């Protein structure tokens, strides 16, 4: 398994506040990876460290086996779309393509122009006059046309309306189908990631709660519902991710590599969103999360 | 990278070019007429005819009006230009990228951050230097007839002007180049450190004004140790004397060399500033008697100055220092941007 992004004990401090601390993870190549987590989990900091816009306070980060932004050739391998998709307001769409062509030796003008015309963007339009969705598409086009090996997207769709969001994801899906490209994309909207990602990392408070192939994750988690049970009476080898009890009923999320059958309880498959939410809400249980973080790295 | 730098700078460059062209046209028209005025003034060759003072008076009498307006306007513009270029070109160069977040776009293209900054500052900084240099050249050319005329001025004359004059020194020669480089680097640094355009511009303007004034008052006079002379004053070498309240007499020393005078004082033989009750002869005697009565007081003239011959050494030192500071600021920005990796 080759790795696009690897961090070891990575931490970043702004003055006295740690935005990310002791983050260790490895993202395999050839996937569309969704990085999910609540606001403030350190997603943006992690991705900015990954593309070299930030320097680590502690630990190490490697992207495609090299130090981020250490050289022009290293920069050329990484496409980045920043949060809020910044573009130069005073430059036109065509200017942005020229900018890309002048600043990237591997620039693919054909791809860029084809994409712009398919999006229906007027090349003479100033970027400052574009809608949020159009601007995001322009930023994505710039990142794609430099022909990177990995595309890093920092919440590119968070501020878009549903239609623009759908179009953006559509473009992204086309690109991943056309080009040999790894994608790392952060979001706090699981429903969006579900459509496009085949690999998922849940990051809460700098820690990886769970990571893995989406299909494998979905296949190895079960929701059990039944009459109220005493937590002590559950089988000792169960890996209970979350448990909720009412007076009469107990609902469990259990992780297991083999199928589960438990008399008196209904066993259901679980959706990605519920799975992610279950891991996110573990934030208050440090003992468990530490164990899962270790597991996730294996 | 050069393309992007130019694309982002071209509007400002166009504005600067327009200002320069307008200024050039005004200075050309006015300068040709001024050169003609000098050529026909009778000053060239006046020494052989022995009528220099008269011709000089005629010439200076015509320097008012339009010439004065053109001169004062250009002078002000040449002084303000470096500050404006520092504030409007230097300060937003990086600060605007931070403010709009576009540094995230610029720094993730396949161009290293060092190169990005070097090309951007190189292009814009050199443009600032070029503009300042051209303004200085144009003003120097325009002003040259006046300086030529000033050669014919007697030492105590009406047009004792020279290029060391603080007002002229900063808009002549190569000094404006140093100011422009410094102002630009100051703006750049303010932008890198403050990361907001408007505050960075304000800091640049204030910082540059302070640096210029401090330099003019405290540094330039001592860039080369000034010449000090201490010579006796008598009736023939004083320009005049005033008698003020309480009959206190003050002497105005005369005989000034062609130089930038830093201090000119009448002192006692012990070296203290001269101030004494007026002599009887000066209170109610004749001019001659008054002059004669000064002799026993042993008044001396203490003169501190930079001779006109030091024009180029002073220009070189000053420009070199401003350039070195500008380069140092540039390296500071480079280190800040490449090492700190701001977000």
- Regarding whether A193 and A47 lie in a shared domain, the answer is yes
pLDDT for the residue A139: 94
Contacts of B120 in chain A (CB under 8 A): none
Query: In the predicted model, is pLDDT for residue B343 greater than 50?
Result: no
- Regarding whether B188 and B145 lie in a shared domain, the answer is yes
Name the least confident of A94-98, B77-81, B157-161, B235-239. Answer: B157-161
Measured in degrees and rounded to the nearest 5, phi and psi for residue A265 equal: -125, 145
The C-alpha atoms of residue B303 and residue B226 are separated, in whole angstroms, by: 10
Q: In 3D, which of B201, B200, B96 has the Cα closest to residue A128? A: B96
- Regarding whether B255 and B120 lie in a shared domain, the answer is no
Average pLDDT over residues B310-314: 94
Contacts of B341 in chain A (CB under 8 A): 52-55, 69
- Regarding whether A229 and A129 lie in a shared domain, the answer is no
Residue range B27-47, pLDDT digits in tens: 999 999 999 999 998 888 888
Q: In 3D, which of B244, B245, B241 has the Cα closest to residue B301? A: B241
- Regarding whether A71 and A113 lie in a shared domain, the answer is yes
Among A215, A244, A269, which residue terminates a domain? A215
Contacts of A146 in chain B (CB under 8 A): 109-110
Average pLDDT over residues A172-191: 87
pLDDT for the residue A242: 85
- Regarding whether B236 and B149 lie in a shared domain, the answer is no
- Regarding whether A250 and A122 lie in a shared domain, the answer is no
Share of chain B above pLDDT 90, in %: 59
Q: Do A103 and B113 touch (CB under 8 A)?
A: no
Q: Do A72 and B112 touch (CB under 8 A)?
A: yes
Compare all CA atoms of chain A with the CA of B102 and give the residue at the minimum distance: A86
- Regarding whether A261 and A190 lie in a shared domain, the answer is no
Among A189, A215, A241, which residue terminates a domain? A215
Average pLDDT over residues A273-294: 63
- Regarding whether A241 and A227 lie in a shared domain, the answer is yes
Please give the structure tokens belonging to residue B155. Answer: 């030492």
pLDDT for the residue B67: 93
Which of A103, A107, A130 is best to mutate for the B interface (most B CBs within 10 A)?
A: A103
Nearest CB to A51: which of B3, B108, B111?
B108
- Regarding whether B273 and B187 lie in a shared domain, the answer is no
Model confidence at B56, pLDDT cuts 50, 70, 90, reads: confident
A80 interface with B at CB cutoff 8 Å:
yes
- Regarding whether A228 and A151 lie in a shared domain, the answer is no
* Number of domains, chain A: 2
The C-alpha atoms of residue A273 and residue A290 are separated, in whole angstroms, by: 22
- Regarding whether A278 and A158 lie in a shared domain, the answer is no
A142 interface with B at CB cutoff 8 Å:
yes
- Regarding whether B200 and B256 lie in a shared domain, the answer is no
3-state secondary structure of B234: coil
Query: In the predicted model, is pLDDT for residue A207 greater than 60?
Result: yes
Q: In 3D, which of B272, B230, B270, B228 has the Cα closest to residue B253? A: B230
Q: Give the CATH number of the domain where residue A46 resides.
A: 3.40.50.300
- Regarding whether A247 and A134 lie in a shared domain, the answer is no
Higher pLDDT, B241 or A110: A110
* Number of domains, chain B: 2
Residue range B105-142, pLDDT digits in tens: 999 999 999 999 999 999 999 999 999 999 999 999 99
- Regarding whether B178 and B249 lie in a shared domain, the answer is no
The C-alpha atoms of residue A19 and residue B176 are separated, in whole angstroms, by: 47
Average pLDDT over residues A229-256: 83
- Regarding whether A226 and A170 lie in a shared domain, the answer is no
- Regarding whether B215 and B158 lie in a shared domain, the answer is yes
- Regarding whether A227 and A112 lie in a shared domain, the answer is no
Q: Do B107 and A55 touch (CB under 8 A)?
A: no
Q: Give the CATH number of the domain where residue A241 resides.
A: 3.30.70
- Regarding whether B244 and B108 lie in a shared domain, the answer is no
Could you list the residue range(s) of the whole structural domain that residue A98 is in?
A: 3-215
Among A199, A215, A231, which residue terminates a domain? A215
- Regarding whether A259 and A152 lie in a shared domain, the answer is no
- Regarding whether B140 and B281 lie in a shared domain, the answer is no
Write down the residue that tokens 């999910």 correspond to.
A36
Which of B105, B118, B119, B197 is best to mutate for the A interface (most A CBs within 10 A)?
A: B105
- Regarding whether B282 and B219 lie in a shared domain, the answer is no
Could you list the residue range(s) of the whole structural domain that residue B201 is in?
A: 2-223+311-340
Nearest CB to A104: which of B102, B110, B115?
B110
pLDDT for the residue A294: 41
Q: Considering only CB atoms, which residues of chain B are within 8 Å of chain A?
A: 1-4, 7-8, 100-105, 107-113, 115, 339-343
């Amino acid at each position: 398994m080759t790795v696009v992004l690897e961090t070891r004990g990575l931490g970043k401090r702004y003055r006295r506040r740690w935005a990310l601390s002791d983050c260790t993870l490895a993202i395999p190549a050839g996937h569309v990876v969704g990085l999910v987590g609540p606001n403030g989990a350190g997603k943006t900091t992690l991705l900015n460290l990954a593309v070299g816009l930030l320097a680590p306070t502690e630990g190490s980060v490697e992207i495609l086996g090299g130090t981020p932004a250490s050289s022009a050739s290293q920069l050329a391998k990484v496409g980045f779309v920043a949060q809020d998709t910044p573009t130069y307001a005073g430059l036109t769409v065509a200017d942005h393509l020229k900018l890309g062509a002048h600043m990237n030796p591997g620039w693919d003008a054909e791809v860029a122009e084809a994409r712009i015309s398919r999006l229906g963007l007027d090349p003479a339009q100033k970027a400052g006059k574009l809608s949020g969705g159009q601007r995001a598409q322009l930023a994505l086009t710039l990142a794609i046309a430099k022909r990177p090996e990995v595309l890093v997207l920092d919440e590119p769709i968070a501020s878009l309306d549903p239609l623009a969001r759908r179009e953006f994801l559509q473009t992204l899906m086309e690109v991943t189908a056309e080009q040999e490209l790894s994608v790392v994309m952060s979001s706090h909207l699981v429903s969006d990631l579900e459509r496009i990602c085949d690999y998922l990392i849940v990051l809460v408070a700098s820690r990886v709660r769970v990571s893995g192939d989406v299909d494998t994750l979905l296949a190895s988690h079960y929701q059990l519902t039944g009459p109220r049970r005493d937590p002590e009476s559950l089988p000792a080898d169960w890996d209970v991710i979350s448990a909720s009890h009412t007076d009469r009923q107990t609902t469990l999320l259990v992780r297991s590599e083999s199928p589960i059958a438990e008399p008196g309880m209904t066993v259901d498959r679980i959706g990605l969103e519920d799975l992610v939410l279950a891991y996110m809400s573990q934030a208050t249980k440090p003992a468990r999360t530490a164990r899962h973080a270790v597991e996730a790295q294996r | 990278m050069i393309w992007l730098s130019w694309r982002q700078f071209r509007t400002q460059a166009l504005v600067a070019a327009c200002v320069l062209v307008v200024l050039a046209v005004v200075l050309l028209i006015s300068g040709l007429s001024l050169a003609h005025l000098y050529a026909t003034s009778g000053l060239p060759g006046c020494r052989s005819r022995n009528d220099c003072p008269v011709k000089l008076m005629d010439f200076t009498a015509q320097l008012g009006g339009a010439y004065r307006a053109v001169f004062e306007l250009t002078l002000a513009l040449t002084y303000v230009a470096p500050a404006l270029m520092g504030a409007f070109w230097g300060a937003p160069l990086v600060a605007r990228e931070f403010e709009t977040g576009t540094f995230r776009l610029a720094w993730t293209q396949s161009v290293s951050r060092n190169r990005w900054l070097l090309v951007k500052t190189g292009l814009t900084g050199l443009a600032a230097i070029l503009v300042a240099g051209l303004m200085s050249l144009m003003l120097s050319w325009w002003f040259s007839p006046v300086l030529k005329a000033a050669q014919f001025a007697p030492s105590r004359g009406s047009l004792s002007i020279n290029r060391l004059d603080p007002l002229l020194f900063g808009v002549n020669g190569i000094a404006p180049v140093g100011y422009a480089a410094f102002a630009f680097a100051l703006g750049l640094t303010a932008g890198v450190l403050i990361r907001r355009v408007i505050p960075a511009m304000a800091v640049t303007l204030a910082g540059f004004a302070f640096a210029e004034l401090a330099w003019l008052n405290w540094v330039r006079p001592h860039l080369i140790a000034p010449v000090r002379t201490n010579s006796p004053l008598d009736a023939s070498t004083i320009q005049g004397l005033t008698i003020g309240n309480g009959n206190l007499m003050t002497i105005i020393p005369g005989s000034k060399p062609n130089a930038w005078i830093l201090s000119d004082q009448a002192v006692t033989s012990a070296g203290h500033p001269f101030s004494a009750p007026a002599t009887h002869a000066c209170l109610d005697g004749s001019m001659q008697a008054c002059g004669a009565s000064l002799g026993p007081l042993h008044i001396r003239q203490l003169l501190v100055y930079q001779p006109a011959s030091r024009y180029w050494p002073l220009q070189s030192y000053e420009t070199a220092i401003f350039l070195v500071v500008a380069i140092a600021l540039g390296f500071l920005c480079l280190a800040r941007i490449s090492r700190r990796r701001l977000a």
